[in-house]
Amino acid sequence: MITLIARLISSRLFYFPLLTLPALYLWNEQVQGHLTAWRIEEIQDYLGNTAILLLISVLSFTPFRVLFPRSRLAAALNRHRRATGVSSFLYAAWHFWIFLRTSDGYEDVIDNLSNFVYLQAGLAAFLILTILAATSNNLVVWILRYPLWKLLHRLAYIAAALAFFHRAFGVKKSDELPTSLAIFGPQENDELPMTLAMFTPLIVLELLRVGKQLITGTAKRVHKFTHQPAFKGWRKFRVARKVFENDDITSIYLEPVNHRRLKPFKPGQYLTYEFPVPGRPDPVIRTYSLSDAPDRRHYRSSIKRIPPPRDHPDYPPGVSSNFVHDLLKEGDIIRVQAPAGTFTLDPRGHHPVVLLGSGIGLTPVLSMLKTLAAHNSRSEVWFCYGTRDSREDALRGEMAAAVAALPSGHLVVCHSKPRPDEVEGRDYHAAERVSVDVLKRYLPHNRYDFYFCGPGPMMESCYHGLIDWGVPEKHVHFEAFGPSSLKNKSLPKGVASSAKIIFRKSKKTAQWDGSKPSILEFAESQGLHPKYGCRSGACATCKVRLRKGEVVYTSQPAADPGAGRCLICCSLPKGDLEIDA
């Protein structure tokens, strides 16, 4: 029944006539010849009460949606906030027009407004509704930008408070209102109780919303406090298992040497590894995403073998990935830092989610998917995974099982170059790369939280495609690896567009032009080879002494660089700079 009502209300063909019912009632009274029996102030009161009830309704939509985020009825009502608000203004305008027509000229209007505070409150409420109605369109949202537009429309609460005062202390008393309109009219010449009764549902909903937000906020703080890093510094782990997922991807399972149970991590986080690569004077530090749901017994990372670049086959292959594939053995001891990273998903949320992974970018979003399944999430979840063909698919069985365990789980597999023996619908769903165009064909709307990870071109395409599709930036979450990191549209606040950077140890000076996403990548473009591990501010391998100048961090680093030092993998120059690199 609720679903049927929600479908009816979500239909504009049904909802818009619903807003005109008070006006249609007056028209029917006119046709039937009953309207002449009404006093003019009764009609005015009826229109004013209708405007107030519609204003109360539109203000109730938001707390109703917050309290019942999965309710289809709440979502259906929320679609018509603007229409309901504009209708409230129209009835208020009709109410105000009668006030002007029944006044004895301009002087009488001014005199009444000067002498009666309730009329001043009503006029102020009407003026606010006029502003809100005039700005209730997409053009104004585009001009003001949504945050400012949303702040402007908070004035609706002030309009409601003024309307409350106007009705409770100023509506003319009348005991002769028709019985059919008793819900709108005065009772026993006492307007305050009736006005309180009208506003009670809104007050209760708002109090419940505030209470829920306080409880949720407290719970988040407690969760944050209880989810401090599992341990500090480096800790020894044993390679318990090593599983070859396909020709290019190997999963390693790590168990703590001290056999202590592990604290849960946040799905999407990564581990920082220290690999003792033979022939290297220092351990090689790299970060790899956790690819499994949190488990108190072990961590798992799935690592792709990195070959030499296709356009430079003479270049060496990836040092750490090839070490893991070829030399790391079960039983070996390696050092690891605690799970870190901000590209995470809260499995307790109720908002629908879309997870996209391409290539080895599968790992963090697979961790999210399996965590949602482990928590028996009731949210709608879409998982989109892309490779060239079935030979490159990894962990396909795990993602299919996780999707099947979700009540509203959906799986979309993209093969950009499927093999001749592959069958569409069985081996893959779309013969193309992961993209927003694919999502548009499968998703019923764009009101999801999007999490994606993969190669640079895929990241750029998905990010800009989602923004162009109208997805708010706060619902777009991404993680990129190393040099393929998504480039920001503009430099962070305070970053110099032009600066001189002196690399003291390398005895090199270069002119910064703002074209690189970090000082590290700028140094590499100048032929330098600074040490690095994670490229995200987690491991502090890239820490250097800051001789002169200041830096701006693109995101708050997890590692503390210490006084007089900076992490060049996630920082940009604020002006001229001199560093020990």
- Inform me whether the pLDDT recorded for 263 exceeds 90: no
Residue 347 belongs to some domain of the structure: no
CATH number at residue 298: 2.40.30.10
Residue 479 belongs to some domain of the structure: yes
SS3 354: strand
236-257: pLDDT as tens digits: 999 999 999 988 999 999 999 9
SS3 123: helix
- Whether 398 and 480 map to the same domain: the answer is yes
Most confident of 72-76, 307-311, 321-325, 516-520: 321-325
- Whether 374 and 523 map to the same domain: the answer is no
Which of 340, 362, 381 is a domain's end point?
340
455-478: pLDDT as tens digits: 888 888 999 999 999 999 889 998
DSSP string, 428-446: BSBSS-S-HHHHHHH-S-S
Sequence-ordered list of residues with C-beta below 8 angstroms from that of 474, at least 6 positions apart, any chain? none
Token pair listed for 159: 């309009």
How far is it, in rounded angstroms, from Cα 59 to Cα 183? 20
How far is it, in rounded angstroms, from Cα 411 to Cα 405? 12
Which of 427, 450, 484 is a domain's end point?
484
Residue whose token pair is 């782990």: 237
pTM given for the model = 0.58
496-536: pLDDT as tens digits: 888 899 998 888 899 988 888 889 888 888 888 888 877 77
Residue 103: pLDDT band (50, 70, 90) is confident
Name the nearest CA neighbour of 366 among 473, 288, 418, 306. Answer: 288
Do 118 and 166 meet the contact criterion of CB atoms below 8 Å apart? yes
How far is it, in rounded angstroms, from Cα 120 to Cα 96? 12
Interval 281-300 mean pLDDT: 91
pLDDT given at position 86: 93
Residue 494 belongs to some domain of the structure: no
How far is it, in rounded angstroms, from Cα 51 to Cα 91? 5
| Mean model confidence pLDDT for the chain | 86
- Whether 89 and 180 map to the same domain: the answer is yes
> What are 503's strand-pairing partners?
508, 579
Task: Compute CA distances 543 → 167, 331, 566, 581, whole Å.
Answer: 66, 32, 6, 9
Interval 283-305 mean pLDDT: 92
Task: Compute CA distances 141 → 147, 152, 153, 311, whole Å.
Answer: 9, 10, 11, 47
Q: Which residue has the higher pLDDT, 94 or 181?
A: 94
> What are 340's strand-pairing partners?
270
CATH number at residue 418: 3.40.50.80
Q: Which residue has the higher pLDDT, 184 or 137?
A: 137
pLDDT given at position 72: 82
How far is it, in rounded angstroms, from Cα 108 to Cα 378? 61
How far is it, in rounded angstroms, from Cα 44 to Cα 34? 16
347-403: pLDDT as tens digits: 988 889 999 999 888 999 999 999 999 999 999 999 999 999 999 898 999 999 999
- Whether 378 and 421 map to the same domain: the answer is yes
CA atoms within 13 A on the CB side of 40: 9
pLDDT given at position 280: 86
> What are 241's strand-pairing partners?
253
Task: Compute CA distances 406 → 1, 370, 376, 409, whole Å.
Answer: 25, 10, 7, 5
Residue 489 belongs to some domain of the structure: no
- Whether 552 and 404 map to the same domain: the answer is no
How far is it, in rounded angstroms, from Cα 361 to Cα 485? 12
- Whether 572 and 477 map to the same domain: the answer is no
Q: What is the DSSP letter of 227?
A: T
SS3 175: coil
> What are 271's strand-pairing partners?
288
Residue 318 belongs to some domain of the structure: yes
Sequence-ordered list of residues with C-beta below 8 angstroms from that of 69, at least 6 positions apart, any chain? 350, 351
Token pair listed for 61: 């939509």
SS3 318: coil
Do 118 and 170 meet the contact criterion of CB atoms below 8 Å apart? yes
* Lowest-pLDDT range of 169-183, 193-207, 293-307: 169-183
- Whether 435 and 509 map to the same domain: the answer is no
Token pair listed for 262: 């592990």
Do 338 and 232 meet the contact criterion of CB atoms below 8 Å apart? yes
- Whether 437 and 546 map to the same domain: the answer is no
- Whether 56 and 183 map to the same domain: the answer is yes
- Whether 361 and 394 map to the same domain: the answer is yes
CATH number at residue 530: 3.10.20.30
pLDDT given at position 486: 55
Q: Which residue segment(s) compose the domain that 119 sits in?
A: 2-215
Task: Quote the percentage of the chain above a pLDDT of 90.
Answer: 46
532-552: pLDDT as tens digits: 877 777 777 888 999 888 898
How far is it, in rounded angstroms, from Cα 478 to Cα 342? 10
- Whether 314 and 362 map to the same domain: the answer is no
- Whether 512 and 575 map to the same domain: the answer is yes
Residue 190: pLDDT band (50, 70, 90) is low
SS3 79: coil
Do 131 and 155 meet the contact criterion of CB atoms below 8 Å apart? yes
pLDDT given at position 189: 43
pLDDT given at position 495: 85
Residue 493 belongs to some domain of the structure: no
Q: Which residue has the higher pLDDT, 581 or 27?
A: 27
Residue 529 belongs to some domain of the structure: yes
Do 172 and 189 meet the contact criterion of CB atoms below 8 Å apart? no
Indicate the number of domains in the chain.
4
* Lowest-pLDDT range of 92-101, 162-171, 495-504, 555-564: 555-564
Which of 215, 242, 260 is a domain's end point?
215
Residue 554 belongs to some domain of the structure: yes
Alpha-helix residue ranges (DSSP H) falling in 153-289: 155-170, 191-226
pLDDT given at position 105: 84
- Inform me whether the pLDDT recorded for 69 exceeds 50: yes
How far is it, in rounded angstroms, from Cα 285 to Cα 301? 15
